[in-house]
Amino acid sequence: MTADPPGEDRTPAERGLDAHLETLRSGAPQPNTSLVRRVVRTARWQRVVRAPLRVVAMIAGAVIDGLAGLAGGRRRT
């Protein structure tokens, strides 16, 4: 974005865009506290569940690699 002040050298499209953006700037939404609480709660339980899920995925991958090795197939990469 340029630091030039709005002037007469702007196109009609640029002036129209400035008018629309000014409307958005003046009517900024206020944060909803219940939404913030839900997002934080979701992030917390996902953080707790992430490590066990990774362990399960690693075990499943090892089992698949073992079965593929027994069957003479190729290993996963």
**Residue type at 17?**
L
Is residue 23 situated within a structural domain? Answer: no
Q: What is the mean pLDDT of the chain?
A: 85
Tally of CB atoms within 10 A around 10: 13
φ, ψ for residue 11, nearest 5 deg: -80, 165
pLDDT tens, position by position, 17-42: 998 888 888 777 777 899 889 999 99
How many domains does the chain contain in total?
Answer: 1
Domain that holds residue 56: 50-77
pLDDT at 23: 83
Is residue 64 situated within a structural domain? Answer: yes
SS3 53: helix
Rounded Cα distance between 77 and 67, Å, is: 15
Is residue 74 situated within a structural domain? Answer: yes
- Residue indicated by tokens 């362990």: 55
pLDDT at 41: 94
